[in-house]
């Protein structure tokens, strides 16, 4: 039996094969649909970690805003409710949170200032106690 020729309109309506993700680039904790001007992070929902970050300016993301978390996988059960949470293993759930980029940069500058002060004090202390040589 001869095969029938397909036209371009038939090819366009054919279902697309799912896009393959190479093994080397698999990312189970990637957040898609990131809104510009925000920094996203995945937070384990243990103790009061989520509430602590909410007090520091983070907000919990909804499933509708971020979509699917990570790569497609069979063992990824759909979460209930509107909060974007998922299992990270050993019975622990994680939540996607975001913070305005300006607040994030401000926090990073404060962290860097603490590191700079610590390094400066280490160098000063080493210079006082050094018997020979120089410290730069």
Rg (CA), the chain: 25
Closest to 81 measured CA to CA, from 59, 98, 56, 64? 64
pLDDT of residue 75: 47
Mean pLDDT lowest for which of 7-16, 31-40, 46-55, 108-117?
7-16
pLDDT of residue 81: 54
**Domain residues of the chain, as ranges?**
28-100
Percentage of the chain lying above the pLDDT 90 cut: 30
67 by DSSP, 3-state: which?
coil
CA separation for the pair 73, 48 (Å, rounded): 29
CA torsion through residues 38, 28, 19, 63, sign? negative
Long-range CB contact pairs, 121-127, < 8 A, 24+: none
Q: What is the pLDDT of residues 19-66, one digit of tens each?
A: 766 666 655 677 878 889 999 988 998 999 999 999 999 999 887 777
The DSSP letter of residue 113 is: H
- Grade residue 106 by pLDDT with cuts at 50, 70 and 90: very high
Percentage of the chain lying above the pLDDT 70 cut: 64
pLDDT of residue 103: 94
Q: What is the pLDDT of residues 72-88, one digit of tens each?
A: 554 445 555 567 777 78
């Amino acid at each position: 039996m001869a095969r029938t020729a397909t036209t371009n309109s038939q090819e366009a309506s054919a279902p697309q094969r799912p896009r393959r993700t190479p093994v080397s680039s698999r990312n189970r904790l990637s957040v898609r649909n990131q809104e510009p001007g925000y920094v996203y992070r995945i937070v384990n929902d243990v103790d009061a970690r989520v509430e602590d970050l909410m007090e520091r300016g983070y907000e919990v993301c909804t499933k509708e805003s971020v979509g699917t978390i990570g790569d497609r996988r069979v063992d990824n059960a759909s979460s209930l409710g509107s909060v974007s949470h998922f299992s990270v293993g050993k019975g622990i759930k994680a939540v996607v949170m975001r913070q305005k980029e300006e607040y994030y940069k401000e926090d990073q500058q404060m962290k860097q200032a603490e590191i700079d002060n610590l390094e400066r004090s280490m160098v000063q202390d080493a210079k006082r106690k050094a018997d020979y040589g120089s410290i730069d």
